[in-house]
Amino acid sequence: MTDTALHPFDRAVALQPVAGQPNLYEGHTSQDYWNMVGPFGGVTAAVLLQGALRHPQLLGSPVSLTVNYAAAVVAGAFQVEAIPVRTNRSTQHWLLQLTQADETGEQQVTTTATLVTALRRETWSLTDLPFPNLSPASDFEPMSPAAKGVAWPKQYEMRPVSGAFPTKWDGSGETSRSQLWLRDAQDRPLDFLSLAAMSDIFYPRVWLRRATPVPAGTVSITTYFHTDAAQLAEVGSGYLLGDARAQEFRNGFFDQSAQLWSESGALLATSNQIVYYKE
């Protein structure tokens, strides 16, 4: 199988172990998921998660992932370091870092992350949030391709239900909430990696709330995974329902809280991020 036979997402998150360094991997940024000044942050989160998921010492599956975007990732090679800091009976704590070589060849940290994985057992369970009562995805039009130079939105089929990307930048915004149906544009069965990436799919709430295109970028994102491999397999390449809103915009930073539901109403992931904005 050639490289181009892979799904673009699998190419973007591909890592190669570095010989003799058990916690170290090499990867390469993907133009398919390029954002304005670096890769789509969701893919960077997935790449870091990948470092733990393919680690031979991995225990269980992801519960909580926090990714901190410390500096822009530039096009080219990078390294992922994945360190299992503490392994308990049923949980495991990871430190993850993405680094890139500077002009002198020294690796510099661009992104840090922490991850908790766990062996999960069946317990009493309950969804304590109502599943949004929306018409099916087929009732809504797919978003048209995004701005020039921004590739990643083309990798997703997004069908906004409410809070679509502003078409008039006239300061008329009234809400920070968006609901949309989404899935990979090219069929790919959902897994923890793509779920981590999709948690970052919501454009900055400040653009919606203000209908004003100020500079903005995610500083830190935390995603909680409420699912397992069996449920992910059931979802397959079906639609997810994404729902996101802000709570507080204050002096250069706002938060953004999101839910990702399966089409049948399973709350697969909840995610929060803090986003820088200007002016």
Q: Which is nearer to its own copies, 35 or 68 (CB)?
A: 68
Q: How far is the CA of 92 from the CAs of 64, 116, 202, in angstroms?
A: 11, 6, 29
Tokens of 181: 């149906």
Q: Is 209 in the site for its own copies (CB under 8 A)?
A: yes
For its own copies, the binding residue among 36, 37, 129, 233 (CB under 8 A) is 129
Structural contact between residues 84 and 55, judged by C-beta atoms closer than 8 angstroms: yes
Structural contact between residues 56 and 63, judged by C-beta atoms closer than 8 angstroms: no
Point out which span in 73-81, 84-92, 192-200, 233-241 binds its own copies (CB under 8 A): 84-92
| Residue whose structure tokens are 């057992």 | 121
Q: Is 211 in the site for its own copies (CB under 8 A)?
A: no
What character string, x for contact with its own copies (CB under 8 A) and - otherwise, covers 135-174? ----------------------------------------
Q: Which is nearer to its own copies, 36 or 129 (CB)?
A: 129
Structural contact between residues 214 and 279, judged by C-beta atoms closer than 8 angstroms: yes
For its own copies, the binding residue among 118, 143, 146, 211 (CB under 8 A) is 118
> Residue 236 carries which side chain, given as an amino acid letter?
G
| Residue whose structure tokens are 């870092």 | 97
Q: Is 257 in the site for its own copies (CB under 8 A)?
A: yes
Point out which span in 7-15, 118-126, 139-147, 161-169 binds its own copies (CB under 8 A): 118-126
Q: Is 123 in the site for its own copies (CB under 8 A)?
A: yes
For its own copies, the binding residue among 14, 226, 234, 238 (CB under 8 A) is 226
Report the half-sphere exposure of 193 (CA within 13 A, side-chain side).
23
Report the half-sphere exposure of 133 (CA within 13 A, side-chain side).
1
Partners of 93 in the β-ladder: 86, 116
Q: Is 222 in the site for its own copies (CB under 8 A)?
A: yes
- Torsion angle, CA of 30/31/37/42, rounded to 10 degrees? -50
**18 contacts: CB under 8 Å, gap ≥ 6:** 24, 25, 26, 79
For its own copies, the binding residue among 33, 193, 245, 262 (CB under 8 A) is 245
Which residues bind to its own copies, rule: CB under 8 A? 63-64, 66, 68, 70-71, 85-86, 88, 91, 93, 95, 108-110, 112-114, 116, 118, 120-129, 176, 205, 209-210, 219-220, 222, 224, 226-228, 245-253, 255, 257, 259, 267, 270, 272, 274, 276-279
